[in-house]
Chain A
């Protein structure tokens, strides 16, 4: 998109917002219903786009993107009235008569940058929040998922208010040009490197940003108490790694920590489960493009790392397919253990005691999610209290994403700002403090000229010591 055209898009959005029409409940509901219709009527086209971009199976596309979006839009529709209602707050007697409220208002014009791995979900989930909060929105899908970007560009304007909700296609240069403009908030989902650039660009206009970044999500795997539980746990781990866009997901398990004596049992079940799940190559998404394929290939080819490949490791450059791969104890300073993997490679690190996993995790930057499979209540408590991460999930992985009541977001290097459910509404709102007073009572002790007596009176008032205040006022106490 040309620079001038981009400028026009931004001013159209601003005009749409300033016209005031995005504020009404009716408008917001209409957009959400439009979005639901889009997802229903264009569902097959959406599946095709996701398959084209990532080789995503329609089941995964529904489970992780389309289905979740429909659920979120419905939740927003149901709760919107409640979210929009001002919250009354307590006002001290000394201000009588007075009322206090916190009133949510839209921020104005929002810019959402989506990542390529969950291209529909990471565009539309924030969009739901921005619209519910009454803003005008520009959506910039990733150019690395071009079919989905095109799908959004062709359909969003048809099902929603095209003057107030716009899709901008293009690559990093378009992203940079967009950031030259003033926005009322920017949400960026992607890598920390680009996150820094977005935040730096936003500083020029004092634009607040929310960053959904990634990190190395660890999975602490303790002994399970039965074979059945072990199998279920492994199902969930395999699902959370390779069934999530082939591990290209910010919430996917990055690496596993397990006691060395438990390793053989774990490996046996892992391998059999992987075989069962991925007997059909169609069941796993492919690597998004040649650059990422190369990146992952380099992680494996690293001289120090290659010997630790335990299972899998085969690669098909033409089809951008990497076999689900397990590594055992690669060197901790190798790239595969210092960078976010974002692919179908699972390093397993063995420890003497599972409790050592806590110290291990603390040496790494704070991840978006931390997973632990354990029935040990003490270990669970220690994990919650001694580690920090966006979220913690026990005995499962990735599913926390689907729960509307839980805020989704990172901390430290994994990001700032949270959304999903009402947190989406709040992310794109300003909570305005409103106080109304009347003229019935006038406390003259507020005003200069000041003296000791007035200070004494105020001391009582500020302690809400009304009895003392009255005595002091009557001259019966200092």
Chain B
């Protein structure tokens, strides 16, 4: 079935129908209409899968998809226009340009935590670049997967854009086909499998993975504002189940009590006295992850470090925002990506010690720093490698379509959003056009010292040598 779908799309692509701007614009408008007209249905599916509050569904998924469509529609003609570049003097006279072309038929594999956004956003890039696409939504968010399978064909060209549902066997079957590119969002373990299967066909990939996104909080900031921005980036993003959600905090011994107090106040305000009952808190996606998070909390050296929260409701699959103070660095909660509502706070004597700790871990998708000290900001920017570094806020860079969104090292390879989405699914073809006005005999054998002299001169940018070259010197050769 996977082979049949891939073959069908290859045929559709080879007819050339995905190439004209008109087709691409029609698909993008279709996606935009889908996000607008089916807002209620999309929110309902996200609520069924994740108990996602309607605000999060609108702001973080639907609205983001709409922005992406509009940005692509606005910039499409510019992206599609070949870019003239200077051919330089070596091949004078000649003209050179770079033209973007689609890769062909691409595969997008989505994740369960932002199941609408992470499916549709890469597809937007693939369409804008003129490809045919197979979208494989995550089976762990079944309501959204079914909705996409139902909706997309109604709003876009089903002969070139298909949804393939299913679990591990279906995904593996898809990965065994030959694609122009594979775009995968998920975890590092499966990312490795994707890369090794892609190797068989030499398929290039984009991997959007995760990591432990650290938040360094300096003592010169307003604890309350920092706490709010951290809280909304953590629990306001699918209850911590987001690749860019703050994973853990590092702050000084002296500032920690103040920060913890502010976080507690903020959490009370956001979610009330009984957070498990708050409609603004997402559920844990399934019992596997619920048990995983419980295990992290219940580990022997960790369970007594809980200073706030820790409530659980297994039936509803809800875990309340939980703060832990100074868990051991070799505990599981500090070695694995948490992807949930648990927030460990690690204290250090001096704030600079946080850098060594972060650098001892693998490169995260995002690293956050709250400080007013511009020197510390510069040191952070230069000393910490991450997909992105954000100062004095969390997660907001996703909404800025002028910034590339992607990881480095263990957090992934490749990037997208805005123009980067278009580029992720394009091949930049170099085109050089020469004519017969000049003829550089010096290039050809039989080689003589005179010819070599001219060639050397040309490569060094020597004007006389260039004139000699183009006028066919040396004579008689």
Q: Which positions in A face B, CB cutoff 8 Å?
A: 23, 57-60, 62-63, 67-68, 70-71, 89-92, 95, 100, 102-103, 105, 107-108, 184, 192, 195-197, 199-200, 202-204, 206, 208, 211, 213, 228-229, 232-233, 235, 238-239, 243, 276-280, 283-284, 362, 380, 384-386, 388-396, 399-400, 402-408, 411-413, 415-418, 430-439, 442, 446-450, 454-455, 458-459, 462
B200 within 8 A of A: yes
In the A-B complex, the 9 residue pairs with the smallest Cβ-Cβ separation, listed nearest first, are A283-B445, A199-B199, A203-B195, A59-B447, A416-B204, A450-B55, A433-B388, A203-B196, A405-B85
Given contacts A63-B443, A391-B432, A458-B63, contact A437 B270 (CB under 8 A): no
- CB pair A435–B270 under 8 Å, yes or no, is no
A431–B444 CA distance with the chains assembled, in angstroms: 42
Note all chain B residues with C-beta closer than 8 A to A58: 447, 452
Nearest to B196 among chain A residues (CB) is A203
Residue pairs across A and B with Cβ atoms less than 8 A apart, 26 shown, are A62-B452, A62-B459, A71-B459, A108-B385, A195-B202, A208-B413, A228-B436, A235-B439, A279-B446, A391-B429, A393-B433, A393-B434, A395-B433, A402-B90, A405-B87, A405-B88, A406-B430, A433-B397, A435-B390, A436-B377, A437-B391, A437-B393, A438-B392, A448-B53, A448-B232, A462-B63
- CB pair B389–A434 under 8 Å, yes or no, is yes
Task: Report B441-460 residues with CB < 8 Å from chain A CB.
Answer: 441, 443-447, 451-452, 455-456, 459-460
- CB pair B381–A434 under 8 Å, yes or no, is yes
- CB pair A103–B381 under 8 Å, yes or no, is yes
A281–B428 CA distance with the chains assembled, in angstroms: 39
- CB pair B432–A388 under 8 Å, yes or no, is no
A103–B404 CA distance with the chains assembled, in angstroms: 10
Q: Which positions in B face A, CB cutoff 8 Å?
A: 14, 16, 19, 53-55, 58-59, 63, 66-67, 85-88, 90-91, 94, 96, 98-99, 101, 103-104, 180, 188, 191-193, 195-196, 198-200, 202, 204, 207, 209, 221-222, 225, 228, 231-232, 236, 269-272, 278, 280, 372, 377, 381-382, 385-393, 396-397, 399-400, 402-405, 408-410, 412-415, 427-436, 439, 441, 443-447, 451-452, 455-456, 459-461
A203–B202 CA distance with the chains assembled, in angstroms: 12
The B interface is mostly helix, strand or loop, or mixed, namely mixed
- CB pair A407–B280 under 8 Å, yes or no, is no
A232–B434 CA distance with the chains assembled, in angstroms: 12
A386–B15 CA distance with the chains assembled, in angstroms: 10
A196-B199, A403-B96 provided; 10 other pairs, C-beta below 8 A?
A58-B447, A89-B400, A108-B385, A108-B409, A280-B445, A395-B434, A405-B96, A411-B103, A437-B390, A462-B63
- CB pair B408–A206 under 8 Å, yes or no, is no
The A interface is mostly helix, strand or loop, or mixed, namely mixed
* Nearest Cβ on chain A to B270's Cβ, whole angstroms: 4
Note all chain B residues with C-beta closer than 8 A to A436: 377, 390-392
- CB pair B54–A455 under 8 Å, yes or no, is yes
Given contacts A431-B415, A447-B232, contact A406 B85 (CB under 8 A): yes
- CB pair A392–B432 under 8 Å, yes or no, is yes
Contact partner, A432, options B280, B386, B444, Cβ 8 Å: B386
- CB pair A404–B460 under 8 Å, yes or no, is no
Note all chain B residues with C-beta closer than 8 A to A400: 91, 96, 430, 432
- CB pair B396–A435 under 8 Å, yes or no, is yes
A449–B396 CA distance with the chains assembled, in angstroms: 19
